[in-house]
Amino acid sequence: MTTADKIRQIYQLLLDAFGDQKWWPGESRFEVIVGAVLTQNTNWKNVEKAIENLKKAGVFDIGALHKMQISYLAELIRPAGYYNIKAKRLKNLIDFIYQRYDGDIEDMLNQGTESLRQELLEVNGIGRETADSILLYALDKPVFVVDAYTFRILYRHNIIDADCDYEMVRELFQSSLDGDIRLYNQLHALIVQTGKNFCKAKPACNGCPLDCMPKISELVDF
DNA sequence: GACCAGGCACATC
DNA sequence: GATGTGCATGGT
């Protein structure tokens, strides 16, 4: 069985276990973009509070945030943690969208995936996971999002080894899932769901607490 | 009270 | 290039 087969099999198992994830939580491309920055190393519940603050303040649109004082933005997003640095990062990203795309998120859709990815990665505060989350979930681009849960789960189940880096894992998923945006979207969401529920950062790693993984081990020949 | 959460940039070796 | 550190709130 190839690694690609394993990836696809894991997808099916997680889908059976957790069902359709309907990701990303967010009602607009803009909301996904903001959430992608705010969720950096942060619980999503805290991000929701920060976004709610922005909505209640009546400033939840790109134009309002573009004009806003950074200190006020920081105060509004405070519940998301790291609020000073995230205010800067959000500003950097919005400034980029204004400078490069005239503040029009829809305009970004016309750009090629790879060049847009490079542009996003040049923005200070936008790393690979944040860029890829924006590309996939806000802009419907065919990019698989790799996060801490992805590494943790794959490593603990002997699908990757410790020195495997972000781009290697991304390639692994993208080649396994054959450019299917719908699958990229769903599987990343399922992995996060799995990680949140079962795969904490520092368990006794021999014997993953993961509930569904023994079933994977039975079905997949690791 | 300790530990963790859907990262990232920067300093230092 | 790898390794360590600061950033910070809120839930368990």
B9 C1' closest Cα residue: A125
A84: CB within 7 A of chain B nucleic strand: no
- What single DSSP character describes residue A78? G
| A120 contact partners, CB below 8 Å, separation of at least 6 | A93, A96, A126, A130, A131, A134, A135
Give whole-number Cα distances, A185 to A94, A121, A133, A143, in Å.
24, 20, 9, 9
Q: Is A127 exposed, middle or buried (0-12, 13-18, 19+ CB in 10 A)?
A: middle
C1' of C7 to CA of A70 (Å): 16
Q: Which nucleotide C1' is nearest A46 CA?
A: C10
Q: Which of the 91-120 residues on chain A come under 7 Å of nucleic strand B at their beta carbon? A: none
Chain B: positions less than 7 Å from a protein CB are: 3-10
Q: What is the pLDDT of residues A127-169, one digit of tens each?
A: 999 999 999 999 999 999 999 989 888 887 778 888 889 999 9
Q: What is the pLDDT of residues A27-84, one digit of tens each?
A: 999 999 999 999 999 999 999 999 999 999 999 999 999 999 999 999 999 999 999 9
C1' of C12 to CA of A181 (Å): 35
Give whole-number Cα distances, A208 to A163, A170, A194, in Å.
20, 23, 12
